[in-house]
Amino acid sequence: MSVHFDRVVTSLGAAARSFFCLNYFFYPFTNTGCYGSIISMTSLEKQNIADFLDLTNDYLSCGYLSEKKVYDFDNTENFIENTQGSKNDDSLEQIALEIKSCQNCQLGSTRKNSVPGEGVTNPLVMVIGEGPGADEDTLGRPFVGKAGQLLDKMLAAINLSRNTNCFIANIVKCRPPNNRDPYPEERAACSFFLHRQILLLNPKIILLVGNVAAQSLLKATEPVGKIRGKFFDYKIENVTIPVLVTYHPSALLHNENYKRPAWEDLKLLRTKIDG
């Protein structure tokens, strides 16, 4: 589920209540002379604070909620084991962190912010675009400019949204200067991240918007106009995911004639989801 302001406020409230309703007492650590706080808190109160800290971490690192962690505060051994264990597993948070510091291609040196993607973690649909533009580069979030607003409207027309049932990502995670198409070596350098995202998200359907996405993921050689309107199989490890290609929303902003076929594609997508 994506980060919701109401969830932040609720968690903040719970954390604040936990802090202020408790008996604090301070004692000196005899040898160091520093002061620590021992707080007689219930496990629920500790969990509320941990939830809030996890939520803040999710917000700062990648912008979507990781699975809620339940801590066993009374069993320190378990807690340490669990924390270490989860480090070895791949996760969306881990991918987002790697993307943030990635310098595997030249886009790493010109970006303001990387844009790993955002949305729910068990999506019906994973939408894949080309790469961040200026607005996305500034905010570190995918599809937030004019094209992104149109994409949100298109998805809403078939009851889809990045807040409830979609994940939005791009072929490359950093902005190509002047919004040029990403070069093949840049797409290749980033495919490692997209591959892992697809595996983790395991969407029911992938929607590719635009030529770059279709060329990169399906190795399509024909333009969107020729390959839209039908499903392809995308095989990744031992999973097969149906893929639909449609026009990029920025193409729709420039050419009215694409709107009708794009709408046909969206209806086809909805039928497949419901089927």
Residue whose CB is less far from ligand URA, 171 or 205: 171
170 binds ligand URA (CB under 6 A): yes
Among 132, 140, 176, 203, binds ligand URA (CB under 6 A): 132
How near is the Cβ of 142 to ligand URA at its closest, in Å?
Answer: 4
Token pair listed for 125: 């649909």
**What's the min distance (Å) between Cβ of 132 and ligand URA?**
5
Distance CA 121, CA 1 (A): 6
How many Cβ atoms are within 10 Å of 259's Cβ, its own excluded? 15
Sign of CA dihedral 187, 65, 273, 234: positive
Does the footprint of ligand URA cover residue 147 (CB under 6 A)? yes
164 vs 160: CA distance, rounded Å: 7
How far apart CA 181 and CA 197 sit, in angstroms, is 22
User: Which residue type, as a one-letter code, is found at position 109?
Assistant: S
Shortest Å distance, C-beta 192 to ligand URA: 19
Tallying the residues shown for the chain, one arrives at: 275
The correct pick among 142, 176, 182, 203 for binding ligand URA (CB under 6 A) is 142
Neighbour count for residue 142 (Cβ, 10 Å): 28
- The amino acid occupying position 262 is A
Q: Decide: is 152 part of the binding site for ligand URA (CB under 6 A).
A: no
Q: Does 130 bind ligand URA (CB under 6 A)?
A: yes
Interaction between residue 186 and ligand URA (CB under 6 A): no
Which residue has the CB atom at the shortest distance from ligand URA?
129
The binding site for ligand URA (CB under 6 A) comprises: 129-133, 136, 142-143, 147-148, 170
